[in-house]
Amino acid sequence: MIAHKTIRMTVNGTTYERSVEPRLLLSDFLRHEFGLTGTHVGCEHGICGACTIVVNGDSVRSCLMLAVQADGAAVETVEGLGTLQKLNPVQAAFQDQHALQCGFCTPGMLMTITDLIKKYPLASDAEIREGLSGNLCRCTGYEHIVKAVRALVRQPGSAP
Amino acid sequence: MTEVVTKQSAEEAALDERQTRPKNIGAKVKRTEDPRLLTGRGTYVDDRRTPDALHVAFRRSDHSHARILSIDVTAARAVPGVVAILTAKDLTEATPVHAESRMPSYYATPIRALASDKVRFVGEPVVAVVAESRYLAEDACELVEIAYDPLPVVTDPEAAVASDAALLHEEAGTNVLVQREFKRGEFETEMFAAPVRVKGRFRFHRKTPAAMENRCYLAEYDTGRDELTLHSSTQVPGIIRNALSEALGMPGHRLRVVAPDVGGGFGGKASLYPEELLVAFAARRLGRSVKWTSDRMEDLTATSHGFDEIIDAEMGLDHDGRVMALIADVIGDVGAYSIYPWTCALEPVQVVSFLPGPYRIQNYRGAVRAVATSKAPTGPYRGVGRPISTFVTERLLDMAARRIGVDAREIRLKNFIQDHEFPYRIGSGIVWDRSSFTDCLLAACKAVDYEALRRRQAEARSAGRWLGIGIASYAELTGIGSRISVAPGMPLNTGTETAKIRIDTTGGVTAAFGVASHGQGLETTLAQVVADKLGVRVEDVRIIQGDSNAVPNATGTYASRSTVLAGGAATLAARIVRGKAFKAAAHLLEASPDELVAEDGRIYVPNTNKTTTYKEVARAVYLEMGRLPPEVRGELEATSTYDPVLGTTTSSTHIAVLEVDPDTYTVRLEKFVVAEDCGKLINPLIVDGQVHGGVAQGIGAALYEEVVYDQQGQILTASLVDYVVPAAAEIPPMHVVHMETSSPAIGGYRGMGEGGTIGAPAAVANAIADALAPLDIEINELPVTPERLFRLIEAAKSRTGDEK
The answer to whether A142 contacts chain B (CB < 8 Å) is yes
Alpha-carbon span B641 to B573, nearest angstrom: 8
pLDDT for A1? 60
Contact B420, B434 (CB under 8 A): no
pLDDT for B804? 45
Is the backbone of residue B147 left (phi > 0), alpha (psi -120 to 50) or beta?
Answer: beta
Within 10 Å of residue B1's Cβ, how many Cβ atoms? 11
Is the pLDDT assigned to residue B486 strictly greater than 90? no
Alpha-carbon span A67 to A23, nearest angstrom: 8
- Which residues make Cβ contacts (< 8 Å) with residue A51, sequence separation at least 6? A27, A39, A40, A41, A42, A61, A62, A63, A108
The answer to whether A61 contacts chain B (CB < 8 Å) is no
The sign one gets for the Cα dihedral B673, B213, A33, B138 is negative
Please, what is the angle between helix A125-132 and helix A106-119, to 10°?
A: 130
Cβ neighbours of A143 in B, within 8 Å: 688-689, 692, 731, 733-734
Query: Mean pLDDT for chain B?
Result: 96
Alpha-carbon span A97 to B536, nearest angstrom: 25
| Residue B638: strand pairing partners | B501
Interface ipTM > 0.85: yes
**Residue type at position B676:** E
Alpha-carbon span B220 to B222, nearest angstrom: 7
Contact across the interface for A95 and B689, Cβ inside 8 Å: no
Cβ within 8 Å of B, A 8-27: 21, 23-24
Return the exposure string of A54-92: e unless at least 16 CB atoms fall within 10 Å of the residue's CB, then b: bbeeebbbbbebbbbebeebebbbbbbbbeeeebbbbbb
Rounded to the nearest 5 degrees, what angle is found at the Cα of A149, between the Cα atoms of A148 and A150?
Answer: 90
Q: Which CATH number does A5-79 carry?
A: 3.10.20.30
Q: Looking at B480-606, which runs of residues are DSSP E strands? A: 497-503, 509-513, 541-544, 597-599, 602-604
CA torsion, ordered A7, A12, A14, A20, to nearest 10 deg = -20
Cβ within 8 Å of A, B 61-80: 80
Q: pLDDT tens digit string along B657-688? A: 999 999 999 999 999 999 999 999 999 999 99
CB-nearest to B38 from A23, A94, A146 is A94
- pLDDT band for position B209 (cuts 50, 70, 90): very high
Contact across the interface for B731 and A129, Cβ inside 8 Å: yes
Cβ within 8 Å of A, B 132-191: 135
- Per DSSP bridges, beta strands B602-604 and B364-372 are unpaired
Is the pLDDT assigned to residue B88 strictly greater than 70? yes
Give the chain B residue nearest A134 (alpha carbons). B727
As a whole-number percent, the residues of chain B with pLDDT over 70 amount to 99
CB-nearest to A140 from B261, B296, B692 is B692
Is the pLDDT assigned to residue B284 strictly greater than 50? yes
Domain with CATH 3.10.20.30 in chain A: 5-79
CB-nearest to B40 from A43, A47, A107 is A107
Within 10 Å of residue B603's Cβ, how many Cβ atoms? 29
Rounded to the nearest 5 degrees, what angle is found at the Cα of B409, between the Cα atoms of B408 and B413?
Answer: 120
The answer to whether B756 contacts chain A (CB < 8 Å) is yes
Burial label, B163 (beta-carbon count in 10 A; 0-12, 13-18, 19+)? exposed
Is the pLDDT assigned to residue A160 strictly greater than 50? no
Write the DSSP assignment of A18-42 as a string of letters: EEE-TT-BHHHIIIIIH--TTS--S
Domain made up of A89-154: CATH architecture: Orthogonal Bundle (1.10)
- pLDDT band for position A157 (cuts 50, 70, 90): low
Is the pLDDT assigned to residue B533 strictly greater than 90? yes
Please, what is the angle between helix B237-248 and helix B274-286, to 10°?
A: 50
Calculate mean pLDDT across residues B514-530: 97
Contact across the interface for B296 and A132, Cβ inside 8 Å: no
Cβ neighbours of B728 in A, within 8 Å: 128-130, 132-133, 135, 137, 142, 145-146
- pLDDT band for position B800 (cuts 50, 70, 90): confident
- Give which of B212, B269, B723 to mutate to test A binding, by max A Cβ within 10 Å: B212
The answer to whether B36 contacts chain A (CB < 8 Å) is yes
CA torsion, ordered B273, B554, B487, B379, to nearest 10 deg = -30
- With residues binned 3-state (H G I as helix, E B as strand, rest as coil), the percentages for chain A, rounded to 5, are 40, 15, 45
Give the chain B residue nearest A96 (alpha carbons). B30
Maximum pairwise Cα distance, chain A: 53
Cβ neighbours of B36 in A, within 8 Å: 84
Calculate mean pLDDT across residues B377-381: 98
pLDDT for B802? 59
Cβ within 8 Å of B, A 121-140: 125-126, 128-130, 132-140
Domain with CATH 1.10.150.120 in chain A: 89-154
